[in-house]
A = this chain, B = another copy of it.
């Protein structure tokens, strides 16, 4: 670039260091009353093709990042995070039963589903809102996305193993103590007349 004159350099530095946009008058005052109009035009021209532009907004001048590069100022950093158990279950229910409403998910899970749980699935791009069910209250219904199939390496939803297959794979009979405790309430009425030592055996059927 051609060497700018001293006034242009001074205007450039003044605007660079300014903490807020400056009017032509303010710049001039800062520089012993010099006429800075020509310098401003020259600078605007000089910077027009650069990564930084000199712009005038409401009579005040400032440097800003070129609009086409604005996206550079924000960078996304991805942090791997494990999907929570609740979210995984909700996702499984949506996949097997879609489209389903939140109430239906809760009915199947037997547990309330926090709002954030579905948000996580929407954010992950595995689930989308598939409209509303035409019943009273018109609840939102959810379905899986093509991204879901891609991520989980499924050709289509028909690839989801059926209940019998899950059982055969041993996935339906997890001996899960945590769940036994959580759902212990269900068989309370049978436990009542059980001798205490039989209680634990009761849970496994």
Contacts and interface: CB of A to CB of B under 8 A. Distances in A.
Interface in A78-105: none
For the complex formed by this chain, how many copies does it contain in all?
Answer: 2
A28 to B, nearest CB: 12
A73 interface: yes
A8 B52 CA distance: 11
B65 A16 contact: yes
Contacts of A30: 72, 75
B1 A65 contact: no
Contact of A1 (B1, B31, B66): B1
A49 interface: yes
Contact of A14 (B11, B14, B72): B72
Interface of A: 1-4, 8-14, 16-17, 30-31, 46, 49-52, 63, 65-66, 69, 72-73, 75
